Structure 1
């Protein structure tokens, strides 16, 4: 990355943006020519080092997803909070019966919330996403509800306010837009965040706030303050504007294929106009230009920012631009031919280039190393493994073959700096799926849905106390508060109450069909001894297997004639 930052072309980009920072409307747009493969992601990441906010606009959501995926690899997990993806709702214009894609709604709500909090980083958006208008900044802020520990509100008032904003009252929350109440506990699944939030009241005072996993009710994190964001489709009954109006004027906009961006917005706007002509008389519908931007207006709004164009330059007009050329080209079509890869690596080495071979997984790296080993000598070409320290890699003066564990969409060859970047999926002509941000860890145990399907008398296993019988849900008073618990009965009619926040500790008993398990006895340490004994047996089996595999590896094989 440092090598790319120091190139003449990248320095020109940064200097031009710095010079035009105070005069956005007077700044001449940049045209980046010769940008191949995933080089655009490296350029965006490089510009981000000097700029607080970078917007990337692409013709389709698929292209936006690939760029987002590449940027997540380049910026790394430490900077994941500085990277956002903004997609369209995929909602057909004026189709109130279409089931909404909650994932997209949450995505759009999170972007608006992050922008309202002064987001700094990269926002990757598709053209149709920007063509769909969003609530005005002040409207969105007014519709959002911020709650902190110690506030006097009361569960009844909270439920009433959320239902006015379109939240649905259910027994247990499973999806965004749902709320549930059990005594002084209110669960809310907002349109921002990975998890629903549980509010626990002491009277009318908000006592605790915590995120929880809806599949097993286990607490994920404790919070002191949280913001609840409603469904944007409910908020959009008022005035609307472009997402670009939520951005600071100092932002830099990367635009790929301006003409295609404009055409995508026009296509969406055209569909809205057609439907409105058919349904306009059926009710009080907003006009198409109150819900969508056409291509012309989208292009005009992007002119309020410093622009960097790349890809196709058709439709840019005759406005003066500053051109910066890159001598890059896509990688050759290897078609899975390893001998062709070997020739290319050797040719690159003769020219003094460094070849970077990106592998999607550690297993794929091992496979490629084994395939290239008969043709390429790592010692001669200065091969470097992806897991070596950066200092060790930089200390090497050899410009040879280097394997890296990374998953970019496309490779490229860059002549000015002598780098050839190839991806394993392009070498073997495999489909490459954009990587998505990993979800937070989910734990085992019962989900509420599984719990509801249990019948009294079913056997369950508590990870701390052993095997018991499920006797149903029950409400009990703990420290002056009503709590919903699971009632379990053990040997000698001993009873254990398990709070629904600890469902992750319960599992359905599995054993031989028709076998009646022996109930555990509470307070005897019997279950703990059983667990320890089982763990010891598992370790013994694992040790025996390792020993067996080691003996097999040392044993000599026998060759048989065919």
Structure 2
């Protein structure tokens, strides 16, 4: 008799920060920890934690987060320090959503014009695919969880488009519910997923009869949706490389493949406005 596949349960929205460390607060740390926690609960806008290198400031802040149990944004002034802090906080909170949000450009050359030589320099950029995935994962965690800690560079202060448009294009799929296959494929395309029946990679999907396989832009695993007519028969997490099933899901939320998405009604309104302006000119 075949053993049932494991079911992957979603993380509860009220999950707490769980600090994992062999260290305990020592020296001035307990007093600093208590003061910082009290300041947060009082609603103090700013607080400063002073300490020399190696004095345990990161551990102290991790202890504060575990105590107050609130989502947090850790800002670093460059990518190198952000990466270091990300690794440290992942070690302190292995069971929570510790995310990384920095600029996804490995190289960026803005367009420029040199009048002395009448030279135009075209814009050139190289995007890091893994960092792009981590940025989208950070966005997803903010929508789904409370136990979120995001380590970021100043890249996070720049606009990413409309949160309402992004969330409005979220696709929910639940086992046992009615779902039109054509409607699902149309929504995936609208959410900036590319159909590729041969090379299944991040941000793509493929269709094999009534089976739709999707690799979300923010995940390293794929989602397999099996339909029976217009009903969702099964939802499975799988390894895109081997195709091996990793467990069954009762429901899944599929977020857009890019932060820069525009719903079709808004796009049509923009096109009408552009056409009207062209006629006026």
Q: TM-score, normalised by structure 1?
A: 0.38
- The alignment partner of 2:48 has SS state of strand
SS of residue matched to 2:225: strand
Counterpart Cα distance in 2 of 1:236 and 1:97: 25
Deviation per residue, 1:227-279 (Å, 9 max, x gap): 112222541799xxxxxxxxxxxxxxxxxxxxxxxxxxxxxxxxxxxxxxxxx
Say whether 1:3 aligns with 2:13.
no
> Is the Cα–Cα contact under 8 Å of residues 37 and 67 in structure 2 kept in the other structure?
yes
State the match for 1:537 in structure 2: none
- One of 89, 102, 121 as aligned partner of 1:87: 102
Aligned to 1:181: 207
- Rounded to whole Å, the distance in 1 between the matches of 2:74 and 2:159 is 17
Matched residues in 1 for 2:165 and 2:190: separation? 15
Q: CA separation in 1, counterparts of 2:195 and 2:148? A: 36
The answer for the alignment partner of 1:60 in structure 2 is 78
Could you say which residue in structure 2 is the equivalent of 1:162?
A: 188
> Aligned-pair RMSD on alpha carbons?
2.8
Cα–Cα, structure 1 residues 237 and 32, in superposed 2: closer, same or farther, change >3 Å? farther
Contact 2:82–2:151 (CA under 8 A) maintained in structure 1: yes
Query: Is the CA contact (8 Å cut-off) linking 1:152 and 1:206 kept in structure 2?
Result: yes
Matched-pair contact (CA < 8 Å) for 1:116–1:137: no
Match of 1:134 among 137, 152, 160: 160
How far has the Cα of 1:99 moved from its partner? 5.8
Tell me whether 1:46 sits opposite 2:63 in the alignment: yes
1:145 and 2:171 are equivalent in the alignment: yes
Q: How does 1:64-79 map to 2 (within 5 A)?
A: 64-75=82-93, 77=94, 79=95
Q: Deviations over 1:266-323 (max 9, x none)?
A: xxxxxxxxxxxxxxxxxx9xxxxxxxxxxxxxxxxxxxxxxxxxxxxxxxxxxxxxxx
Q: 1:31 offset after TM fit, Å?
A: 2.2
Which protein, 1 or 2, shows the higher relative CO under an 8 Å CA cutoff with sep ≥ 6? Answer: 2
Q: Map Cα deviations across residues 440-469 of structure 1 (whole Å, 9 max, x no partner).
A: xxxxxxxxxxxxxxxxxxxxxxxxxxxxxx
Which residue does 2:48 correspond to in 1? 31
Structure 2: gaps of 5 or more residues:
1-22, 112-121, 265-273, 275-281
Report what 2:39 is aligned to: 16
Which residue in the other structure is 1:107 paired with? 134
CA distance in 1, matches of 2:97, 2:196: 35
Residue 12 (structure 2) aligns with = none
Residue 211 of structure 1 deviates from its aligned partner by 1.2
Residues 1:19 and 1:131: Cα distance change in structure 2 (over 3 Å): closer
Q: Structure 1 204/102 Cα, relative in aligned 2: closer, same or farther at 3 Å?
A: farther
Give the conservation status (yes or no) of the 8 Å contact 1:38–1:70: no
In 2, Cα distance between equivalents of 1:149 and 1:54: 33
Distance 2:55 2:130 in 1: 26
Conservation of the 8 A alpha-carbon contact between 2:161 and 2:260? no
Change (3 A) 1:165 1:9: closer
Alpha-carbon contact 1:86-1:125 (below 8 Å) kept: yes
- Aligned residue for 1:50, secondary structure, equals helix
1:148-179 CA-partner distances (Å, limit 9, x unpaired): 11222232221122122322111235322211
Correspondence for 1:125? 152
CA, structure 1 residues 102+47, in 2 after alignment: closer, same or farther (shift >3 Å)? same
Aligned pair in 2 of structure 1 residues 165, 60: CA closer, same or farther (>3 Å)?
same
CA drift of 1:38 comes to: 6.8
CA contact (8 A) 1:147 1:226 kept: yes
More helix by share: 1
Q: Is the alpha carbon distance of 1:45 and 1:98 closer, same or farther for their aligned partners in structure 2, counting shifts above 3 Å?
A: same
Seen in structure 2, the aligned counterparts of structure 1 residues 237 and 146 have a Cα distance that, compared at 3 Å, is: closer
Distance 2:127 2:182 in 1: 28
Aligned positions of 1:516-555 closer than 5 A: none
Instruction: Measure, in 2, the Cα distance between the counterparts of 1:90 and 1:185.
Output: 35
Q: Which residue of 1 aligns with 2:16?
A: none
TM-score by length of 2: 0.72
C-alpha distance in structure 2 between counterparts of 1:116 and 1:204, whole Å: 28
Question: Alignment partner of 1:197: what SS?
Answer: strand
Residues 237 and 183 (structure 1 numbering): CA distance in 2 closer, same or farther, change over 3 Å? Answer: closer
Q: Is the 8 A contact 2:217 2:257 kept in 1?
A: yes
Give the total of aligned pairs.
229
